[in-house]
Amino acid sequence: MKKKLKVLVDMSVTLLHHGHIEILRKAHKLGEIFVALTKDNAILKKKGYLPELNYHQRSKIIKSIKYVKNVIPSDWDINDKFIKKYKIDILVHGSDETNSSKVVKKIIFKRTPGISSSKLRYKVFRNYLKNYRKK
């Protein structure tokens, strides 16, 4: 039996949405999916805020998705040391990919149009303000 490729999908999933599921679905066709889930302190350092759900909560959600074999804590950048440590065959990311790794095949999927965690966060904030002002 042919060994399945070890596919790493790099994501933060600060707010889970259908774009995340779509990239995992596509990546699953390539092999076994391992999610490099960005740690809270790395998100704070890169984006300037802590996610609404902490790493443990986000990890629990991601592990429950049928396409995912396991979750690996990661920093913002996926480098060659990380790829070698976890014996990754393919690195998958959305079109905003900025990882420094050069030792692995990268597959970049286009982002799902019209959705992002930032857009969701803004929509929730806007709706909160709108409803709060009515009281």
Mean pLDDT of the chain: 92
CATH of the domain at 102: 3.40.50.620
Task: Please check whether residue 104 lies inside any domain of the structure.
Answer: yes
Closest alpha carbon to 23 in 34, 13, 9, 6: 9
Task: Please check whether residue 87 lies inside any domain of the structure.
Answer: yes
The residue type found at 66 is K
Q: Copy the structure tokens of residue 135.
A: 């009281």
* Dihedrals phi, psi of 36, to nearest 5 degrees: -85, 100
Torsion of CA 61, 62, 63, 68, to 10 degrees: 150
Query: How many domains are there within the chain?
Result: 1
* Domain that includes residue 103, residue range: 6-134
Q: What is the chain's alpha carbon radius of gyration, rounded to the nearest angstrom?
A: 16
Other CB atoms within 10 A of residue 62 CB: 21
Task: Please check whether residue 129 lies inside any domain of the structure.
Answer: yes
pTM of the model: 0.88
Task: Please check whether residue 23 lies inside any domain of the structure.
Answer: yes
Q: How confident is the model at residue 121 (pLDDT cuts 50, 70, 90)?
A: confident
Q: Are strands 68-74 and 6-11 parallel, antiparallel or unpaired?
A: unpaired
Closest alpha carbon to 47 in 10, 76, 82, 18: 76
Task: Please check whether residue 1 lies inside any domain of the structure.
Answer: no
Task: Please check whether residue 47 lies inside any domain of the structure.
Answer: yes
> 99-118, pLDDT tens digit by residue?
889 989 999 998 888 888 88
